[in-house]
Amino acid sequence: MKKKQENSKKFLYFFYDILRYATLNIFKERKELLNHILRKIVIFMGGTAGNIRIYNSKTKSLVLIGSYGTSKRYKGDKKSLKIGESISGVVFQKNKLVVVKDLRKSKRYLKLSLALESKMISLISAPLTIFNKKLGVFSLYYSYPKNFTQLEKEIFKLLANFVSLIISTQNIYYELSDAYVGIIKMIIKALEEKDLYLKGHSEKVKKYALLIGKKIGLDEFQLEQLSDLTTLHDTGKLLIDEKILNKPGTLDNKEWEIIKKHPETGAKIISQIRRFKNGISIIKHHHERVNGKGYPNGINGSKIPLLAKIVSVADAIDAMLSPRPYRKPLSIEEVKQELIKNSGTQFDPQIVKVALELINEGKIK
């Protein structure tokens, strides 16, 4: 009896720990959030490895989003499974818990050698569902042929329901933040439509930034941040008088000080979306210069975040290629000369080098 009470106490402490973490970090990237919780569950359950797969309705496949205790080769070769394929595919298809005491005797398991490489011998796998909607599959592996007790099965089902709740809650959070971003994007687009000189500016800056980002080898998460936040890089200008923004002549000191505040203002507006917390620097610092003479903070060199440096160059390219009230658009050759001229002072030389390559390849024109 005493041992049962102690085990119950341990489980309650463990469950509180992962619940608290999930609640405080629901805005984080899904992979990071689920990997942390998965690691905690595998260790608590005394397992060897674990996987969380999410159903992708576009590809109609189960994509490996969280994995702990598995090899790099496993994560690469088993990144995606079809419905009905391997154990996970069957669990999703039939929507029921499956237990396999010894994978070495299973004809259903796909690419057994990869599992054995990570000492994955037995498994328990449950569907991830909420309100009868199938979200994915959660699997836990052990390094020996294991007989699962009824209690262990019930605990695993409970943990699978918890993971389902996290995924569903995060979906709702993303939908709400996407709606917020959507409203801001609509306002920006409406303002750009009214202004011949700014029409399509945000989308073109995003396009150039992504071309540069892909060429320098940014990972998927960084490219996603660029895609989302570059479109919003001029959000702060929403609060600036149109007379200042569209002034055909030179800005006076007072007007220039107002303009210089737009990156910080934009960052404050977008910081309300916690999932963008790590990418706010894109908005805040896209007018900094590598020589420290930019704004709003006058930071230089390596202190300027890489993604902000990329947006700085992309923003300048579109500004130069577009007409302005006070000048005609520059030719592509003139843009190249301006980039070279300001490399190492306004722009990061490495980003300029990549941008010039893209121009020479005809991808920026």
**Domain containing 331 — which CATH number?**
1.10.3210.10
Within 165-288, strands assigned E span: none
Q: Is the pLDDT of residue 236 over 90?
A: no
From 78, 237, 309, 336, active-site residue: 237
Q: Is 209 exposed, middle or buried (0-12, 13-18, 19+ CB in 10 A)?
A: buried
Query: What is the model's pTM?
Result: 0.65
Residues 159 and 303 both lie in one domain: no
Does residue 187 sit within a domain? Answer: no
Residue 206 domain-assigned?
yes
Q: Are residues 135 and 275 in the same domain?
A: no
Q: What is the mean pLDDT of residues 270-286?
A: 85
Q: Which of 73-87, 99-113, 125-139, 317-331 has the lowest average pLDDT? A: 317-331
Residue numbers of the domain that contains 125: 2-172
Give the SS3 label for residue 142.
strand
- What is residue 270's predicted lDDT score, i.e. its pLDDT? 86
Q: Are residues 31 and 131 in the same domain?
A: yes
189 occurs within a structural domain: no
CA 167 to chain centre: 15
What percentage of residues in the chain have a pLDDT greater than 90?
Answer: 60
Q: Both 235 and 152 in a single domain?
A: no
C-alpha span between 308 and 188 (Å, rounded): 20
User: What's the confidence (pLDDT) of residue 23?
Assistant: 87
Of 172, 203, 221, at which residue does a domain stop?
Answer: 172
Query: Mean per-residue pLDDT for 170-197?
Result: 75
Distance from the Cα of residue 354 to its chain's centroid: 23
The CATH number of residue 131's host domain is: 3.30.450.40
CA distances from 357 to 21, 102, 349 (A): 44, 54, 12
Residues 6+ apart with CB under 8 A from 109: 86, 87, 100, 103, 115
Is 237 assigned a catalytic role?
yes
Same domain, 305 and 212: yes
Is position 261 within any domain?
yes
Pair (51, 133) in one structural domain: yes
Q: Is residue 132 located within the same domain as residue 209? A: no
Number of domain units in the chain: 2
188 falls within a domain: no
Q: How many Å apart are CA 105 and CA 228, to the nearest integer?
A: 47
Instruction: Please indicate, yes or no, if residue 181 is contained in any of the structural domains.
Output: no
Looking at the fold, whether 167 and 199 belong to one and the same domain comes out as: no
